[in-house]
Amino acid sequence: MLGVSLFQSHAQWRIERISARYRSSFPQAPPKPPIHARTCYCLPLIFESVQMFRRNTVPPVSRFSFRPAPSSSWPLHWIMGLGLLMLSLTIATHEALAFGFQDAVIQAKQLASQSYSPDPQIPEALSQIDQNTFERIAIKPSASLWQTARFGIDPISAGYIYDQPVDLYEVTPDSVAPIVFDKTKFDWPSQAFAQTVPANLGFAGFSVHYPLSGQDARDVMLTFLGGAQFSVVAANQVPGAHARGVAIDTGLPQGEQFPRFTKFWLVRPNPSDLQLTIYALLDGKSLTGAYEFVIRPNGSRVDVHVTASLFPRTGISRLGLAPLSTMYFYGQTGQRPAGQWRPAAYESDGLLMHTGEGDWVFRSLQNPATLRVSEFAADGIRGFGFMQRQTRFCQFEDAISRFERRPSLWVTTEAGFGKGKIVLVQIPTNSDLHENQIAFFQPAEVVDSAHPVSFAYTLTAGNSDVAQEPLAQVRRPLIGTVKLAADDKTEKAYRVNLDFSGGRLSTLADNEPVIANIETKGTATVQEQAVIPLPEAGHWRLSMLLVPTGKSVVTIDASLALKKKVISETWRYDLPSDLTRFGQMK
């Protein structure tokens, strides 16, 4: 019955889309704006498995634009006939491939009905090698998949901490063929090392390369390696913040679970194709999942459209959809750790959120002294992501890590992101080796074996404008502690300076009456505030003096306004009420 109801939902959705498209060439009133993040669009989206818009002539935004059909005077039987005709063509397109999303869904659902059984691990000797040795193992250039296509696949050998192999398959219109591990296709650190590698060692994952920086380039654009994690970069960037397939119980006392992708189906592209499709199977102790990834380079950005269906085995306390992870060690606020020579060390400087009400909120990151979990109301969230707004080498001075070249990652929600909240988990770290910032959407609905979860979103990697935010943005927060009187023995207040640029500020004259909106919810008194233009054109500074009022955490929401209209994002931050704890790191 589920399959029948899903088919009917998809048929109705296709009829609405085709009828709207057919009427688009005729004079009519403009359609209403799309209803954003409605869970009811989730079921039709599942049927993206039929791959009706796989052809490269259709941009991704068209493939996943969900909106009600405008009112029509066309006869219903015409619309129904057109819809059924196009639906039949859709099914024919689906049959053009030997494997599709629905096939992955079937496998995930069947797997969820079975007890979880971890995959066997590789020989211990290969899991004990260090990172440097592992990085010297590489596929030979002649062994890459799809030598004549724009997209190429470089399988990655198992080893080091990646000790559970994954299965890779190549999908064509006629077949689904396993990609067999062949040790002779790899370059190994030495001949002696190669002799220790079993013939059936297996793959840890793979990377996708594409000519991002030039026609003949082979730039690594996307990598699946370890757990449910994957990294995406645009042109002239290096890997930084990562995405995951799902997050389970992150930041909870019972400990986080780490399900993993166990199988990938790689759809062989044509030489001229501008997008690549990958299917994946996820397996873990508490759930299974089926995924579709459609990767499309888009100028200075790379878009990855993700469609997923999850099948819980048990109840899950905290399910995270579209999770992102990044590293923040030090640099923006607080003290520099003893012995650190760099001005700063972080992959992302803040979490940006576009709320269901249309507001833009930027939460600067910090390295806490203890575990911190922050939650933000996010019913109908439109987007969120980790931003790297510091893009000059002098801000980090690290010629190896190149933090200024790390990507910003932005999630544009599409289906399955109804009622819920954004969760930001911040973990103390004493180095730049660990990703200690995790953000995701947690749905409000119950998640258990009786409630499968389906959702879709587009992940975009690029520079700090990937979110296409129209308002002025916080470029740099400067925070310190000050005395209120000359005879004070200790600091009594925070001096907070926020530098804004972009949006309307780019064209404002220096004498415009820009004002500040500051909200502390009673946790601090604003003793001073001022908004002034800076010497650099288009840059303004909001300066405030905050005196904590009690023992609770000082919470700050601050933005700029002009003539009673907000012209900047809202900067959100927490500070300890005890000023002696400001900037402390564990």
Which pLDDT tens digit goes with each residue over 370-426? 999 999 999 999 999 999 999 999 999 999 999 999 999 999 999 999 999 999 999
Percentage of residues of the chain with pLDDT beyond 90: 75
Pair of tokens at residue 448: 């258990």
Q: What is the dihedral of CA 546, 506, 36, 100, to 10 degrees?
A: -110
Token pair listed for 554:
């000082």
CATH number attached to the domain at 106-462 = 2.70.98.10
One-letter identity of residue 545? L
What is the distance between the alpha carbons of residues 66 and 417, in angstroms, rounded to a whole number? Answer: 13
| pLDDT tens-digit series, residues 428-456 | 999 999 999 999 999 999 999 999 999 99
User: What pLDDT, on a 0 to 100 scale, did the predictor assign at position 195?
Assistant: 94
- Tens digit of pLDDT for each residue in 199-255? 999 999 999 999 998 888 899 999 999 999 999 999 999 999 999 999 999 999 999
246-276: b (≥16 Cβ within 10 Å) or e? bbbbbbeeeeebbbbbbbbbbbbbeeebbbb
Residue 164 pLDDT greater than 60, yes or no: yes
Report the share of the chain in percent with pLDDT over 70: 83
Average pLDDT of the residues of the chain: 86
State which of 18-32, 48-62, 306-320 shows the largest mean pLDDT: 306-320
SS3 310: strand
More confident residue, 39 or 298: 298
For 308, the enclosing helix (H) or strand (E) is strand 301-312
Triad 376, 381, 386: Cα angle to 5°: 70
- For the chain, the domains span 2-96, 106-462, 473-581
Query: Per-residue pLDDT averaged across 98-117, rounded?
Result: 96
Residue 377 or 42, more confident: 377
Q: Is the pLDDT of residue 32 over 90?
A: no
Q: Which CATH class is domain 473-581?
A: mainly beta
Average pLDDT over residues 49-76: 38
- Asked if the domains at 106-462 and 473-581 fall in one CATH topology, the answer is no
What pLDDT sits at residue 81? 54
Instruction: Calculate mean pLDDT across residues 528-544.
Output: 96
Mean pLDDT of 92-102: 72
- How does residue 192 score in pLDDT terms, banded at 50, 70 and 90? very high
Residue 76 confidence class, pLDDT cut points 50, 70, 90: low
Residues 6+ apart with CB under 8 A from 225: 156, 162, 204, 205, 206, 207, 231
pLDDT at residue number 142: 93
Taking 90 as the threshold, does the pLDDT of residue 352 lie above it? yes
Residues 137-163, mean pLDDT to the nearest whole number: 95
